Amino acid sequence: MQIEGKNQVIEAIKNDVTINKILIDKNFATRRDDVINLAKKNKLKIEFLPKKVLDEKSLTGHHQGYIAETVEFEYSSIDEIFEYANSKNGEKDGKFAKHDPFVVLLDGIEDPHNLGAIIRTCECAGVDGIVLPKMRACQVNETVVRTSAGAISHMKIARVANLKTAIDELKERGLWIYACELGGADLFGQNLTGPIGIVIGSEGNGIKQSLRTYCDGVVTLPQLGSVNSLNASVSAGIVIYEILRQRAGEAPKFLTRTRTNLSF
């Protein structure tokens, strides 16, 4: 796999991504350069090439003079996501601060730009991990890496054979699972605090009905315009930051939750 772009390559180096070599525009060889300095410090192989050669090798068309050739993206497990979430427990202002796990599940996201944008939002908002299905969904590729703007190097991403099984496991670990879909309760009136998982559906078809009924609830973004749906990455961003807002102490405190399977 290739990682392209200055900031993306820097983040990959800083986060110990396994890099075989870094291809750099030969015009940069004699100037002070953050990528070159960082690569030398980490004893990584550097190859200086004409820009024309980099243009030919580029898969995204936006290499900026830097291409890192890496091994394939290494996915995490759900166990590793929870280990990461647990590592956030600790002292804060002299008191023990408990961190509630926050996971985003993606049902059939096929556009790599959407996937990259969702990864970027998740990392910025402190989401502990993302769960992807192995089949009929976009996997991590060069476009996803670039669109994430380096965030992918900081994000735990698990790839599973079956999202229903993953939801069962997350429920057993104490998470409440909500589908973000039309026809549900108003997002801004729901109590979304505590351990939580949010399911975001595909760009065209939304969340599969069989998966939706597996969730503890359905939340819907209020829409006042003529278009009846939002881009998947935009929807994800709104939901994720509403959860972040509620975690800051602004949740609707009058609401209680009872875990039941939904019926439609």
Instruction: Flag whether the pTM goes above 0.85.
Output: no
Please give the C-alpha separations between residue 16 and each of 24, 81, 186, in angstroms, as whole numbers. Answer: 19, 18, 42
**pLDDT, tens only, 76-110:** 999 999 999 999 987 666 677 789 999 999 998 99
Task: Give the total number of structural domains in the chain.
Answer: 2
Check whether residue 119 and residue 229 sit in a common domain. yes
State in Å, rounded, how far the first CA of the chain is from the last one: 43
Identify the CATH number of the domain in which residue 23 sits. Answer: 3.30.1330.30
Check whether residue 40 and residue 105 sit in a common domain. no
| Residue 131 in this model has a pLDDT that exceeds 70 | yes
Nearest to 176 by CA among 250, 262, 79: 262
Query: What residues make up the domain containing 31?
Result: 2-70
Check whether residue 8 and residue 119 sit in a common domain. no
Check whether residue 88 and residue 20 sit in a common domain. no
CA 2 to chain centre: 19
**pLDDT, tens only, 186-240:** 999 889 999 999 999 987 788 888 888 889 999 988 877 766 677 889 999 999 9
Q: Is residue 263 very low, low, confident or very high in pLDDT (cuts 50, 70, 90)?
A: very low
